[in-house]
Amino acid sequence: MKPDWDKLIDEYKDHPHALIADVDCTAGGKPICELQGVPSFPTLKWGSPTDLQDYEGARGYDDLKAFAEENLKPMCSVANVDICDAETKAQIEGYKALAPKDLAKKIKKLQKKIKKANKDFNRLSKKVQKESAKVEKKKGKAETELKAKHSELSVMKMVMSFRKPVEEDADIESPPVDMDDV
């Protein structure tokens, strides 16, 4: 993938509104990767620098180039507000009107809520995994016990099929002969 990525970087090096680059997450770029939530390498991200999205497409040169041609164009932003929809324009204008300190508080508050939601999700996910493991263990034990009982039932049916029919007033019925059990 690296040669294809480098080729795409060269093609877009002088592009007026798109940047294709790579960051070494093991060296000086580590803080950038941590900030952007890069879990492993290589991870491809695209979009606004303040809201990068994960790229999930194919990673061959032709696929990467087609994606870049389709998606790397001017995007709605404070610098390009004229291409934003009405709702986003109104949000931008509202946030621009706030004092930097107030905007920073709003950002921090929302980030805190997102962090808490992720923490809650992870905690609940671990709890569900533990419960699932318990259920799987119980299921395995029950299956083992039922297989033993099934084997015992097969032996009982086999013996019964070779006996004389059970009298009518007995507590059990004489089962029909199952040729698979013979």
pLDDT value of position 182: 46
Which runs of consecutive H residues, i.e. helices, occur in 12-99? 30-35, 61-71, 86-97
Residue 12 in domain? yes
pLDDT value of position 180: 53
Check whether residue 113 and residue 49 sit in a common domain: no
Q: What does the pLDDT average to over 31-44?
A: 83
Name the percent of the chain lying above pLDDT 70: 90
Distant-in-sequence, close-in-space partners of 158: CB < 8 Å, separation ≥ 6: 181, 182
Check whether residue 179 and residue 120 sit in a common domain: yes
Residue 95 in domain? no
Residue 182 in domain? yes
Check whether residue 134 and residue 58 sit in a common domain: no
pLDDT value of position 101: 96
pLDDT surpasses 80 at 81: yes
State pLDDT tens for residues 88-138: 999 999 999 999 999 999 999 999 999 999 899 999 999 999 999 999 999
Domain, as residue range, for 140 = 101-182
Check whether residue 68 and residue 112 sit in a common domain: no
Check whether residue 107 and residue 182 sit in a common domain: yes
pLDDT value of position 138: 92
Residue 93 in domain? no
- By mean pLDDT, which of 6-15, 31-40, 78-87, 125-134 is the weakest? 31-40
Strands (E), the chain: 45-46, 53-54
pLDDT value of position 85: 93
Check whether residue 69 and residue 110 sit in a common domain: no
Q: Which residue has the higher pLDDT, 174 or 29?
A: 29
Please return the burial class of 171, using the count of CB atoms within 10 Å of its CB with bins 0-12, 13-18 and 19+. Answer: exposed
State pLDDT tens for residues 139-174: 999 888 888 777 888 888 888 888 866 555 555 555
Check whether residue 178 and residue 110 sit in a common domain: yes
| Contact call for residues 154 and 161 (beta carbons, < 8 A) | no
pLDDT surpasses 60 at 175: no
pLDDT value of position 176: 55
Check whether residue 106 and residue 182 sit in a common domain: yes
Check whether residue 15 and residue 67 sit in a common domain: yes
- Count of domains forming the chain: 2
Give the model's confidence band at 50: pLDDT under 50 very low, under 70 low, under 90 confident, else very high.
confident
Check whether residue 106 and residue 180 sit in a common domain: yes
Residue 179 in domain? yes
Check whether residue 123 and residue 170 sit in a common domain: yes
State the pTM of this model. 0.46
Check whether residue 64 and residue 128 sit in a common domain: no
Residue 63 in domain? yes
Q: Which residue has the higher pLDDT, 166 or 49?
A: 49
Residue 89 in domain? no
Residue 85 in domain? no
